Amino acid sequence: MSPSAVPAPTANGHFENDLNLSLLGLGVEYPPFLVGPEALETLANRFYPPSPALKKVLSINRLTGIETRAAVGDVNHPLVNKPDAPSIKELNALFREEGVRLSVNACKKAIGEWGGSVDEITHIVSTTCTNSANPGFDHYVVKQLGIRSSVEKILLHGIGCSGGMAAMRAAAHLALGSSYQQKPARILVLACEISSVLVRSELDSINDEQATRVGVCLFSDCASATILGNGIGGEFAEPVYDLLGWKHQVIDDTDEDLGFDVDPLGWKVVLTQRVPTLASAAVSPCFQDLIQSVPEIHKDGQTPMAADFDWALHPGGSLIITGVQQAMKLTPEHLRASYEIYMKYGNSSSATILSVLNKLRESEGKDQVIACAFGPGIALEMMVLKRRKLGPTTSNGLEHTDLNGSSNGNGASNGSDDMESNGSVTEGAAVVNGHSGVNGTTPEVNPTEMNGSGPNGAPKVASGPAANGEQDEESSLPVEELD
């Protein structure tokens, strides 16, 4: 079979009209606890003396726009209540248990919607930035899912919040390789992050260095998965999205601006004040390049505008979302899924983008979607997708699964020896649009109603310096943003 007969990016950088690449099923698994801003304050007051840096961080914690964050335990989890921050060995043991459990459940949901068998899975592409053990966590996920040991696996690392999209991009290239060989490809794409238990390590740095570290206010836990297919062989259900094209680029001279460095007590966020501006400015030229490379989306010779798409933007922080919104002349409605996931669950790093795509397909919208995420480097990932079917009224995976593997929809955890089992929002329920989100549930959110309206109709998620990206005079970091 000649290369010219295979749907693929052409020599001039354009994608053929029919790549035959589709997302066949999506699955998202959040852990059973939703913690409010009070949880961080409780831990800080338990273990650390008052200080100017801690006071600033706790103030920022109230201004992020996040009502609750998903976490594997509540404020009384034993691992974060020891005299010292957990070691990397302890963090690894928890990830091996909780991360694998979340991953298996997310994969089961994606496989279930696809309708195929684990025996038909040809490849697995996984990513995480919160575990670096060997063998990787994907090894244990494969065993628990009953996937044959000979399946081809790839585990991506070092790509942070852009990891979910990078994994999809890698899977797309694998699928096109299978198309060249006229073989079916059913590729399981998996992202999992457990960030909540790094809270003590971050608080240690805040206390010891008197540094304003905002990552401790934003990150959360999640696993998400999708099945990417190449259209060869039988299909079992209508695809969720078609993948039409993608673009990866690294912003020049930004190596030191964004990262997630290894540390004896886990990983530490690296962030400079330039990140929000750099990220927002990079989106427009990347978008223009991407849409020019996908002839299929040009109707009657007209080049589509950013507002002609719905947007699944990785919600790294409120300034990232509002910055892209303003740069691309979008409305909150275009970014509704990003706002809602950010507000309800926080930033779950690489696992978040599939959660946003999962949320977006719950309601009708634009025919095509732009997905976008930023990661260390600074790396930018962007994709254009086409809707194929409307999702269920309750999202496939935004309900929680209990620790015995059965879905109860309210976030209650059962059978765990190392965490509280009441499933309640830690240290008080979050209030969203006047409704209390208790017992692990959160109400639907209208993005235009989140804490009022800001510039250009954007949700007002912060006020004062945090809202404007200004720095505290004693801080070297912007008070709000992360990848």
Task: Note if 107 is an active site residue.
Answer: no
CA angle in degrees (0–180, nearest 5) for 448-451-452: 55
For residues 407 and 395, the answer to whether their CB atoms sit within 8 Å is no
pLDDT of amino acid 253:
86
| Nearest alpha-carbon partner for 286 in 245, 321, 316 | 245
What is the separation of C-alpha 116 from the centre of its chain, rounded to a whole number of angstroms?
25
Residue with tokens 């501006």: 277
Tokens representing residue 290 in the block = 């991407």
pLDDT of amino acid 392:
57
Mean pLDDT for the chain overall:
82
* Reported pTM: 0.83
pLDDT of amino acid 82:
96
For residues 282 and 250, the answer to whether their CB atoms sit within 8 Å is no
> pLDDT digits over 413-460, tens only?
333 333 333 233 333 223 233 233 322 333 344 443 443 344 344 444
- What does the DSSP assignment read for 334-357? TTHHHHHHHHHH-B-GGGHHHHHH
| Nearest alpha-carbon partner for 316 in 356, 369, 265 | 356
> How far apart, in whole angstroms, are the C-alpha atoms of residue 270 and residue 425?
29
Which range has the worst mean pLDDT, 29-33, 81-85, 183-187, 407-411? 407-411
**Percent of the chain beyond pLDDT 70?**
77
- The mean per-residue pLDDT over the stretch 164-177 comes to 98
pLDDT of amino acid 18:
82
- The mean per-residue pLDDT over the stretch 10-27 comes to 81
Of 107, 129, 161, 222, which one is the catalytic site residue? 161
- The mean per-residue pLDDT over the stretch 299-321 comes to 92
pLDDT of amino acid 12:
54
- The mean per-residue pLDDT over the stretch 269-289 comes to 86
> pLDDT digits over 330-343, tens only?
999 999 999 999 99
From residue 236, give the alpha-carbon distance in Å to each of 97, 113, 115: 32, 9, 5
> How far apart, in whole angstroms, are the C-alpha atoms of residue 440 and residue 449?
21
The H-assigned helical ranges of 417-476 are 465-468
Please check the confidence at residue 133 and state whether its pLDDT lies above 60.
yes
- The mean per-residue pLDDT over the stretch 218-231 comes to 97
**What angle, 0 to 180 degrees and rounded to 10, lies between the N-to-C axes of helices 352-360 and 336-345?**
130
For residues 275 and 478, the answer to whether their CB atoms sit within 8 Å is yes
pLDDT of amino acid 234:
75
Please check the confidence at residue 131 and state whether its pLDDT lies above 60.
yes
**Percent of the chain beyond pLDDT 90?**
64
Please check the confidence at residue 411 and state whether its pLDDT lies above 70.
no
Residue with tokens 């935004």: 398
pLDDT of amino acid 397:
55
- The pairing of strands 379-387 and 22-29 is unpaired
Torsional class of 151: left (φ above 0), alpha (ψ -120 to 50), beta (otherwise): beta
